[in-house]
Structure 1
Amino acid sequence: MPAELVETIKTTIQPNDHPYMKGAWRPTFNEWNATFADGEAEVIGEIPKDIDGVYVRTGENQVHEPIGRYHPFDGDGFVHSISFKDGKASYRSRFVRTKGFEAEREAGRSLWAGLMEPPHKSTRPGWGAQEWLKDSSSTDVVVHAGKILSTFYQCGEGYRLDPFTMEQFGTEGWVPVDGISAHTKLDEATGELLFFNYSKHAPYMHYGVVGPDNKLKHYVPIPLPGPRLPHDMCFTENYSILNDMPLFWNEELLERNVHAVEFHPEMKTRFAIIPRYGRPEDIRWFEAEPTYTLHWLNAYEEGDEIVLDGYFQEEPQPKSYPDAPEGLERMMAYLSQGLMKPKLHRWRFNMKTGETVEQRLDDRILEFGMINQRYAGRKYRYAYSAIPEPYWFLFKGIVKHDLETGESWSYELGEGRYASESPFVPRIGAKDEDDGYIISYVSDVNADQSECILLDAKDIEAGPVCRIILPERICSGTHSTWANGSDIGMPENSVLAA
């Protein structure tokens, strides 16, 4: 069945040479429905018949001419979903109809300034920890209680979408007044969703649990010494892990409502370990070497210890990007994995002695790691990290790690081809932790097209077993998720009707 153009969103963007509004980050404005089956021209290889579920990726896609300098994290949330069943696939793409998106569509222009501009340039009050930004709901997605939850990293309201039809249900009702940060965590074993938020007023952070019925079950303060900028959290079977890292707003400038990030190497990194339904008095604090970590990989309990894996930045406050256009030097430096140098790292917290032991797991620059989510919060063996394009917020390949043997394997896409965050997809009836596929959206700037690829997780070096060509090249993005059809009540006709 040919692709169906559902709607083209009107844009006011003028031609420009901004580095994050061209190439792989060129915005698109068309919303699509499309279905695919073996033997069709859009399918190269064979769509696996042993997977059942949906791959969802979000990202920032600016619609209107920005107010002042543009940062790619200002862009409107645009969700791409492709579902699989019985060797068929169905693709849908939609902008998230946030309150900000609808207000700007009605006005026909941008109403909110972004990260790089002062508050007075926004024409209306905003959302999140900085208070004047637009909640674009563009950072992360997870599928919980049968629906996509779309979130914003500066703490937004959270938006719900149907993972198959992309029908939109507006803001999430249980979200607290301080919002929810981007990285909520789903425990597939219990169906619980864990979340946190942060703000500029005491106690500066909260943590909560939402049940499999999508109702708020638990919400407690995590007191911090002042405003902080946590981006992610992690969990084990019995505990949740939050953090207080020494990269946060300059306190003197913050008093003048200037949000300038500063690294404090003289301070320790601190971790708050709290029982899943614990109270503030139950928190155990652990200290570690100063760093900043954008993303955690997984955590688990082992004897008296809690083991946490993530990406330790060797240079959390990189120097200015030397080849950036004037005025964008700091922005491009903070988007450069090559300058921040994140490395796969392990922390061990001894719950009896209070000691922290750290270990480097891989000395390559890697980030945006994924695992088999059935092992989230449990001891695991395999991980899949993105290989950054040097000095850009782009991914040129994937590394598979065997954390037991220390072996690794990699697949690179080739010049001008860039991956998305790439989840693990378990085969139906999988017997092993790595029995499945790695899935990703790939943007090819040479051919000016995008595709969805699947790699055999047991042999990623062999390259894609399947390439599904999308209706047009999509803008690069941020985070993604895979949800099993059996876990979320996948409808029988989910891949048959566009």
Structure 2
Amino acid sequence: MHVELKHSFESGLPPDDTHPYRSGVWRPQHREYDAWDLDVVGEIPSDLNGVYLRNTETAMFEPIKRYHPFDGDGMLHSITFEGGDARYSNRFVRTEAFLAEQEAKQSLWAGITEHPSNAIADHGWGARTMMKDNASTDVIVHGGVALASFYQCGELYRLDPRTLDDLGTTSWGGRFPAEGVSAHPKLDEHTGELLFFNYSAEAPFMHYGVVNREGELTTYIDVPLPGPRLPHDLAFTENYTILNDLPLFWDERALAEGYYSNTFRRDVPSRFGIVPRHGTTEDIRWFEADPTFVLHWTNAYEDGDEIVLDGFFQHNPTARGAERFGGDHKGFETLDMNVLQARAHRWRFDLATGETTEEPTSEQCLEFPMVNGRHAGRRHRYSYNARCTHGLFAFDALVKHDLDTGDEQLVEFDEGVFVSETVMAPRDGSQAEDDGYLVTFTSDMVNDRSECMVFDAAHLDEGPVARIGLPERISSGTHSTWAPATDL
């Protein structure tokens, strides 16, 4: 392996840190590398061509008061596959907040579990959401450029998907929304369009937009809601976009006092707003369903007069009645999908009758679903999901779920090995939905190393076809994406 250290950042954290989200599988990585001629066990498929990207929350300095993992700065990890070879890079996202704290050598913004008044100074950019925009939640590639985003709405930070060179912020010809953009914008690989939403504490409380392949904002509409909400994801079909108004939302009294606190209303139905992709506010149709909170949608598609939506229904969104974790894990119960009781679920919205039907599709606690990107918004059969570790926000297994038959294939890893959100990368010239590869990063606590693992998506039981060594063990994190070479 050839490794070039590009930059090493000074950490303001204690060397013997025991915080559960600044140690162990969440131990921060403060060095940036380029690496090539990587060590490989097995063989990298020559028909795997594209880029796998993952975002990671990375702690840099002691917090002003409390630390939550989502307070960490965004660090992207990129591995590029080309003709049987692979190259790795990692870089911090150079957000305005990251650069300001690097200059100050300390935390300047209050964390998401603190009152914003705890911030040391008003550094302007945090004002959009009263929080630091760290661009650490999600990543997607649009128009050949990687976009890093923040779940509380912020800028879209642009990077070269292969080298991770900083390309500044997104402008969309000067029409980037003042409200920012939430994490989980969605790419339609067939049209090249990017679909996004944002939300805020002021009416109309949500907006929805579409950006074309050339980076032009072609649709941007109000989505009026009854009050401030906490949406996290959207879904789309070939002709429609599905937005949501779920009964886990901001407490209005807390907002009036200048901070965020959420509440779940079991007496309020879930609502789904279905709008034609380039429709208007007046075109939005609302459907009601059982109350829940959904962190992530799997996919959606049209089936005659119906829209089919798959996602993960939380049966206990606020960890009510759950046994509280002790010690250093106290207060992080809502990061454990086992406590929130997330289960795969399917909703059907009948556009002819206005009726909603719904049903569970799995009994396992899973989350962070991915599908073959060529099937996003189209009929899908398979989803690739992460199994959530008990007591910690991390993933210890992969599950391929056949939504037609209900069958689930489980891939478990050695004790102490955790994986990333796993993408499905179609092989060149693929003919079937699962004709390709699953790609994930691992963090091996026992051997203090990380690898990129590649599996044949149709034959998971045969184990990885390639295990590719990385320069340093990487931290656990959140979201990832796959961009085929033809889309770069």
Give a deviation string over 1:237-292, Cα, whole Å, max 9, x none. 00000000000122222221232111100000000000000001000000000000
Quickly say closer, same or farther: Cα 1:147–1:353, change in 2 above 3 A.
same
Matched, 1:271 2:272: yes
* Equivalent residue letter for 2:152: Q
Give a deviation string over 1:170-216, Cα, whole Å, max 9, x none. 11113200000001000000000000000000000000000100121
Matched, 1:322 2:324: yes
* Equivalent residue letter for 1:69: R
CA offset at residue 126 of structure 1? 5.5
Contact 1:128–1:155 (CA<8 Å) still a contact in 2? Answer: no
Matches within 5 A, 1:7-406: 7-14=7-14, 15-36=16-37, 42-122=39-119, 123-125=121-123, 131-174=129-172, 175-319=176-320, 322-325=324-327, 329-330=330-331, 332-406=332-406
* Equivalent residue letter for 1:365: C
Contact 1:128–1:156 (CA<8 Å) still a contact in 2? Answer: no
Contact 1:126–1:135 (CA<8 Å) still a contact in 2? Answer: no
Quickly say closer, same or farther: Cα 1:406–1:128, change in 2 above 3 A.
farther
Distance in 2 of aligned mates of 1:126 and 1:357:
46
Distance in 2 of aligned mates of 1:391 and 1:209:
38
Give a deviation string over 1:388-409, Cα, whole Å, max 9, x none. 1112211111111111122221
Which deviates more, 428-437 or 194-203?
428-437
* Equivalent residue letter for 2:324: P
Contact 2:159–2:167 (CA<8 Å) still a contact in 1? Answer: yes
* Equivalent residue letter for 1:282: D
Contact 1:124–1:132 (CA<8 Å) still a contact in 2? Answer: no
* Equivalent residue letter for 1:36: D
- Please report the TM-score for the alignment, with normalisation by the length of structure 1: 0.95
Partner of 1:462: 462
The runs of 4+ residues in structure 1 deviating greater than 6 Å are none
CA offset at residue 66 of structure 1? 1.4
Quickly say closer, same or farther: Cα 1:128–1:234, change in 2 above 3 A.
farther
Distance in 2 of aligned mates of 1:401 and 1:341:
18
Contact 2:129–2:152 (CA<8 Å) still a contact in 1? Answer: no
Contact 2:274–2:285 (CA<8 Å) still a contact in 1? Answer: yes
Which deviates more, 12-21 or 198-207?
12-21
Distance in 2 of aligned mates of 1:242 and 1:125:
32
Distance in 1 of aligned mates of 2:123 and 2:289:
38
CA offset at residue 461 of structure 1? 2.0
Give a deviation string over 1:73-126, Cα, whole Å, max 9, x none. 000000000000111000000000000011111111111111111111112246
Partner of 1:432: 432
Contact 2:272–2:287 (CA<8 Å) still a contact in 1? Answer: yes
SS at match of 1:166: coil
Matches within 5 A, 1:444-455: 444-455=444-455
SS at match of 1:77: strand
Identical aligned pairs, as a percentage? 52
SS at match of 1:13: coil
Contact 2:246–2:269 (CA<8 Å) still a contact in 1? Answer: yes
Contact 2:325–2:333 (CA<8 Å) still a contact in 1? Answer: no
Distance in 2 of aligned mates of 1:338 and 1:392:
10
Contact 2:325–2:391 (CA<8 Å) still a contact in 1? Answer: no
Distance in 2 of aligned mates of 1:446 and 1:34:
23
SS at match of 1:178: coil
* Equivalent residue letter for 1:74: D
* Equivalent residue letter for 1:465: V
SS at match of 1:374: helix
SS at match of 1:3: strand
Distance in 1 of aligned mates of 2:125 and 2:381:
39
Give a deviation string over 1:407-446, Cα, whole Å, max 9, x none. 2211011210000000001111111110011000000000
Partner of 2:475: 475
Q: What is the number of equivalent residue pairs in this alignment?
A: 482
* Equivalent residue letter for 2:269: K
* Equivalent residue letter for 2:283: D
Quickly say closer, same or farther: Cα 1:324–1:173, change in 2 above 3 A.
farther
* Equivalent residue letter for 2:93: V
Distance in 2 of aligned mates of 1:455 and 1:157:
34
Contact 1:112–1:126 (CA<8 Å) still a contact in 2? Answer: no
Contact 1:153–1:181 (CA<8 Å) still a contact in 2? Answer: yes
* Equivalent residue letter for 1:295: H
CA offset at residue 322 of structure 1? 2.4
CA offset at residue 380 of structure 1? 1.2
Give a deviation string over 1:1-23, Cα, whole Å, max 9, x none. 51111110111112322111111
Contact 1:129–1:199 (CA<8 Å) still a contact in 2? Answer: no
Distance in 1 of aligned mates of 2:254 and 2:157:
32
Give a deviation string over 1:336-363, Cα, whole Å, max 9, x none. 1110011010000000111000011101
* Structure 1 gap ranges (5+): 489-498
CA offset at residue 130 of structure 1? 6.9
Distance in 2 of aligned mates of 1:390 and 1:126:
38
* Equivalent residue letter for 1:138: S
CA offset at residue 145 of structure 1? 0.3
Distance in 2 of aligned mates of 1:67 and 1:288:
41
Which deviates more, 49-58 or 121-130?
121-130
* Equivalent residue letter for 2:326: A
Partner of 1:414: 414
CA offset at residue 467 of structure 1? 0.5
Give a deviation string over 1:128-172, Cα, whole Å, max 9, x none. 787321110000000000000110000011100001121111111
* Equivalent residue letter for 1:30: R
